[in-house]
């Protein structure tokens, strides 16, 4: 018989920043890196709230935070 460990292996998940729709009737959410500039819900155009969801990685490079400190030479 085969090993049950192989069948029960869970995919690698990581805490991923997302935005979810604030409207209780709308179930939309989007990964932070795919969020439109206006930060509006893609389905109902309502406001979005920042949250965290455990998701598999997309393989897409994450957005880098803008450097605010200037380096001196």
Tens of pLDDT, residue by residue, the chain (73 residues): 555 555 577 779 999 999 999 999 999 999 999 999 999 999 999 999 999 999 998 876 665 544 444 555 4
The pLDDT of residue 48: 96
The pLDDT of residue 59: 77
Which residues, in sequence order, are CB contacts of 17 under 8 Å at separation 6+? 31, 32, 50, 51, 52
**Strand-pair category, 29-31 with 14-21:** antiparallel
Distance CA 39, CA 59 (A): 23
21 lies in some domain: yes
Distance CA 70, CA 12 (A): 37
27 lies in some domain: yes
> What's the structural domain count of the chain?
1
73 lies in some domain: no
């Amino acid at each position: 018989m085969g090993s049950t460990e192989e069948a029960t292996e869970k995919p690698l998940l990581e805490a991923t920043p997302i935005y979810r729709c604030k409207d209780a009737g709308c179930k939309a959410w989007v990964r932070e890196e795919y969020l439109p500039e206006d930060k509006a819900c893609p389905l109902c155009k309502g406001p979005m709230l920042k949250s965290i969801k455990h998701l598999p990685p997309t393989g897409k490079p994450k957005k880098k935070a803008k450097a605010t400190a200037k380096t001196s030479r």
